[in-house]
Amino acid sequence: MSDALPPRPAPEPSDHGAPYWAAATEHRLVLQHCPRCDRLQHFPRPWCTECLADDLDVVESSGRGTVYAATVVRRHPNPAFAARVPYVLALVDLDEGVRVMSNVVGCDPESVRVGQRVAVGFEPAADGTVVPVFAPADPGSP
C-alpha cells in the first residue's frame, strides 16, 4: 500500500543524529549511550547532558515499548502526509527508558490507545532513507 503513497520526507540528520538514521537503514533501532554514566539519551546530542562526555556510543534497542500519548492527525499541509491522513502520531516509551516520537501504523488509527504495547518496524522515506515506526505488538508478547 505504501508504495502508492508519496514518500515521507527524509530525516535531515545532524552529525550526532547520523548513527540513529544509519542504523535505521539496516532496520535496527539504536539509542545514544554515555559509557561513563551508563545512561541513554534521546534525541541524540553532541555530548552527554549529565557529564559532558563527548565519546558517546550507541546501544541497540529491543524496539519494544508502550504508547505514552497518541493523536490521530486529520489534516496536514505536506502532500506526503496529506496522503496518509488519518494517521497516528505518538510518543512511545521504549522499554529501555527513553521516549521517541513516531507513528503507530498497521492498524485502525482510531484503535490506538495510550498504554498500548507496540513494537518497532521500519518504513522507507525519501532519498533511500528509512524511519523507525511502531505497530501494535502481538497480544502474547511482552
Partner 1 sequence: MAPLVFKTSGTGDPRPVGSIPATSATSDDPSPRAPQRTTLDTAIIGIGEVPPRRRSDGATTLDLVARVARDAMLDAHLRPTDVDGLLLSPTFTGAPLTVASMVADLLGLRPSYCDVVDVGGATATGMVWRAAAAIEAGVCRSVLCVLAEGADPRSGIHAPSWPALPNGQWERPYGSLGPNSGYALAASRHAYEFGTTDEQRAKVAVDQRTNACANPTSLFADTPITVDDVLGSPLVCDPLHLLEIVMPCFGATAFIVAPADVAAAGPHPPVVLRGFGEQITHSSLVSLPDLTRTGIVESAGRAYAAAGVTPADIDLVSAYDCYTITVILTLEDAGFCAKGQGGPFVADHDLTFAGDLPCNTHGGQLSYGQAGLAGGASHVTEAVVQLRGAGGARQVPDCRLALVNGNGGILAEQCTLVLERGGA
Q: How far is the CB of 54 from Zn ion (least distance, A)?
A: 10
Closest CA to 8 of 136, 108, 132: 132
The maximal CA–CA distance of the chain, rounded, in angstroms, is: 47
Cα 4 from Cα 21, distance rounded (Å): 23
Q: How far is the CB of 131 from partner 1 (least distance, A)?
A: 5
Is residue 34 within the footprint of Zn ion (CB under 5 A)? yes
Under rule CB under 8 A, which residues in 71-110 are in contact with partner 1?
71-76, 78, 80-81, 84, 87, 89-91, 98-103, 110
Q: Which of 3, 4, 12, 26 binds partner 1 (CB under 8 A)?
A: 12
Closest CA to 102 of 115, 86, 120, 85: 120
Residues found near Zn ion in the complex (CB under 5 A): 34, 36-37, 48, 50-51, 53
